[in-house]
Structure 1
Amino acid sequence: MGETEDGRILQRVFGAALGQAMPAGRFAGRLPERPRGRTLVLGAGKAAASMAAAFEAEWDGPCEGLVVTRYGHGVPTRRIEVVEASHPVPDAAGEAAARRILDLARGAGADDLVVVLISGGASSLLALPAPGVTLADKQAVNRALLLSGAPIGEMNTVRKALSAIKGGRLAAAAAPARLVTYAISDVPGDDPGTIGSGPTVRDARGAPEALAILARRGIGVDAPLRRAVEANAASAPQDDAGVFHMLATPMMALEAGAEAARALGLEPVIWGDAIEGEARAVGAEHARRALAAPPGRPTLFISGGETTVTVGPEARGGRGGRNSEYLLSLAVALDGRPGVSAIACDTDGIDGSESNAGAWFDPSLTARARAAGIDLAAHLDAHDAFTPFERLDRLVVTGPTFTNVNDFRAILVRGGW
């Protein structure tokens, strides 16, 4: 990141938000009683390995198990096995891990405790197709949903309809063992059934809604796949199971960022933790809101949620992710307005197709882009937000953070217009 004062402030606030989302120390006061039998730890998500390590550190007793995380997101553990698989499009490694996890759950007995650790990304990582559904089916549907700009809630409704482990099916497999789920939320509203597509939470929506989403998004479903989805829904669990604990949420991260802003002499205003919509449209709207702020004390407008990027066939060669696209749209709308700086990052450390968490800018961005011959609006139209921020040294690169509470956005307004 650059060395300007606003750049340092934005990075510090983002760091505070990330710190609040880490699983270490979050199990205190939430641990169940030790069982007479085994303690089996199962899990999936971008934070699965760090959650497993944190659980091991706080659990007073033996434990064993298996969690699956994204490639490059593993951390050392002592007793719980960690495997890695593909995200956001599932692969064979995720399918094999999901099958092993389901088999381990089925082997639990009445005297055992099954601990399930779920975080964002689990939907892709627990890639176990329902009977009649192939991994190729899941991959094709997943890619089509990503390109369609479908919000995370719609994507996870479809994923559950295609899965043998999501939508409460992992919980059903673990019966009659005692079940406790711990989650780090990456979804608007923190719905337990949406986080990781709810492996321990029954799906009350079922096949009709999943098929309606695919039809609305223009994604074709052949007759055999439709029959498989309907049969899978008919066999879904009808009851919720176990106890559910939320370890970290997007709002917790935003509030930590706000506290850091106050310590820096800024007035924080949280716009919400569940903002969705096209990244480009949200960026332009946030520019209008920031410029409408009354003059006075320097203000930091903070928001979270998960925007989307709908990529047409003519613009599928662009580089970047939803946070970079949001930020580029914001910068184009502000057009170098003095006194306004901003940051937008994915809290998992990976924004879209590249290795950056996101990007940031200050009022000098537009002038520097013009001097370098960079047309910011053209890059925005091409869904290529990564390139201008890379060339102008405004990327935020953290590497994998081993957590995920969705996106973090902050606009620093000092006035001056």
Structure 2
Amino acid sequence: MFQAAVQRAHPARCLPPHLPATPPPGNGRIIVLGAGKASAAMAVATEQFYRERGLSDRLTGFVTTRHGYGLPTDLIEVVEAGHPVPDAASQAAAERALSLAQEAGPNDIVLVLLSGGASALWAAPAEGITLEAKQALTKELLKSGARIHELNCVRKHLSRIKGGKLAAAAYPARLLTLAISDVPGDDPATIGSGPTTGDPTTLADARTVLSRYGISPPPSISAALQNPDNETPKPGADVLANSEYRLVAAPKASLEAAAEIARANGYRVELLGDALEGEAREVAEQHAALAREWLAKGERVAILSGGELTVTVRGSGSGGPNQEYALSLVESLGGTPGIAALAADTDGADGGAGNPDDPAGAIVLPDTQARALACNLKAATFLANNDSTTYFRELGDLVVSGPTQTNVNDFRAILIDP
């Protein structure tokens, strides 16, 4: 089911139907600017599409993906940068994207290929802010358990590329964004921090986020969040008049792909939605209770859900929201027979150290707790230290997929077999 969910959103499948088949007028160029964990595969699909139509000579540009996620290309350069914390390569990529957008002429089309991860992969700090200050703030927000829309609200107001500012740089050239959604609700203003869409949030909203999580920023950040020059273009702004936005893949379709497999194997499907948010361990407790209810009814059921859970880090271990969710399931289910689960990030990396071989998630089986206790591994102890990766690694129950070349957020499946 996890593989089906990933494949439904792979760029080779979802992107070509949305690429403009008609060449730009005159000698107009197709200027490709992309960022995100799916951007390398999006570049490959774009190259193939235009090569087949004899338009290779019109293509120019580059995409930015996470370190270790690159793919070989011929026409569209692929560069790698830092995620989830931006690095110097992220800053260089953002500056280059802004420069190319500003160079677009009246006959050109700026084709923006966007997917989850773009917020970190394109980092153009606002005036007066260093990359190091943005890195430190990003780490604080991630550790605090801030939700993705809150994190991106702050990022947009400390950036020269996010929150519609890339589209503003390209104006008045035509701009088309093709995006793979990795956020609850599929809001274009949140995907990749919305570099090509109007931003309904404000500087005041960004300040409120920091206050909500008890984050006291350095003076440079505080000053930037008070500076009206850092406000973002709002929906309907003139500089967005020539910008078009299309979603090419979203979590809902990927969950449905998994549901088709579950139904074909005799399970009743309960879809909890593709936009779940909240603390990973608390959501797992709720889902464990729901699974027990279905088990008591004696039905074969597949409980599927997506969205983006968070972890408030209090320990010093390693892990991610999907692994912490799985570990909390182990603790909550207590070895209940007839219930198994998988929780994984569809991009192939759940938290981790930013390496391509980081685990995507973990599986939970009816005998997980018994095997763990035989090795003196107590779920509650590892939960307290936010050390889900170590727990599941010791059991051999990590999901390690490597880069999937897409990103439609978390995937969770609980199977009930009475």
TM-score by length of 2: 0.93
Unaligned runs of 5+ in 1: 1-12
Check whether the contact 2:19–2:46 (CA below 8 A) recurs between aligned residues.
no
Match of 1:401 in 2: 404
Q: Show the 5 A alignment for 1:155-234.
A: 155-231=151-227
Q: Is the 8 A contact 1:131 1:232 kept in 2?
A: no
Q: How does 1:251-290 map to 2 (within 5 A)?
A: 251-290=252-291
2-structure distance, mates of 1:340, 1:361: 8
Question: Aligned in 2, Cα 1:222/1:362: closer, same or farther, shift over 3 Å?
Answer: closer
Q: How far 1:338 moved relative to its partner?
A: 0.4
Judging changes above 3 Å, is the alpha-carbon distance between structure 1 residues 391 and 223 closer, same or farther for their aligned structure 2 residues? closer
In the alignment, the residues of structure 2 paired with residue 336 and residue 217 of structure 1 have an alpha-carbon distance, to the nearest angstrom, of: 35
1:339 to partner: Cα distance: 0.2
Q: Partners of 2:232 and 2:154 in 1: how far apart?
A: 14
| 2:388 corresponding residue in structure 1 | 385
CA drift of 1:232 comes to 5.5
Match of 1:361 among 361, 364, 374: 364
Asked if structure 2 preserves the Cα contact closer than 8 Å seen for 1:42 and 1:116, the reply is yes
What RMSD in Å do the two structures reach over aligned CA positions?
1.3
Please say if residues 110 and 175 of structure 1, whose CA atoms lie closer than 8 Å, have aligned partners that are also in contact. no
- Aligned residue among 18, 29, 47 for 1:30: 18
TM-score (norm 1): 0.93
* Pair 1:232–1:81, CA change in 2 (3 A): farther
Match of 1:21 in 2: 9
1:223 deviates by 4.1
- Structure 1 counterpart of 2:180, which letter? I
Q: Is the Cα–Cα contact under 8 Å of residues 157 and 231 in structure 2 kept in the other structure?
A: no
- 2:113 corresponds to: 117
Q: CA deviation at 1:247?
A: 1.1
Number of paired residues? 400
Residue in 2 aligned with 1:5?
A: none
User: For the residues of structure 1 that align with 2:118 and 2:18, how far apart are their CA atoms?
Assistant: 22
* Sequence identity percentage: 52
Q: Distance in 2 between matches of 1:256 and 1:404?
A: 15
1:39 to partner: Cα distance: 0.7
For the residue of structure 1 that corresponds to 2:185, the secondary structure is helix
Residue 203 of structure 1 and its aligned partner are, at CA, apart by: 1.3
Residue deviations 1:85-134, cap 9 Å, x none?
Answer: 11001100110011011100000011101000111110011011011211
Secondary structure of the residue that 1:349 maps to in structure 2? Answer: coil
Is the counterpart of residue 134 in structure 1 residue 130 in structure 2?
yes
Q: Which residue of structure 1 lines up, in the alignment, with residue 337 of structure 2?
A: 338
Residues 284-331 of structure 1, C-alpha deviations (whole Å, 9 max, x = no match) = 11101111125244111000111111112xx1x201111000000011
Question: What one-letter code is carried by the residue in structure 2 that aligns with 1:210?
Answer: A
2:76 is matched by which residue type in structure 1? I
2:351 maps to 352
Contact 1:166/1:198, CA 8 A, preserved across alignment:
yes
When residues 391 and 124 of structure 1 are mapped into structure 2, their CA distance, relative to the original with a 3 A threshold, is: same
Question: Match for residue 10 of structure 1?
Answer: none
Paired AA for residue 333 in structure 2 = L
User: Matched residues in 2 for 1:234 and 1:186: separation?
Assistant: 26
Partner of 2:139: 143
| SS in structure 1 of the partner of residue 175 of structure 2 | strand
Comparing 154-163 with 243-252, which one deviates more in the overlay? Answer: 243-252
Residues 36-91 of structure 1: CA deviation (Å, up to 9, x unaligned):
21110001111111111111222331311011110011111221111001100110
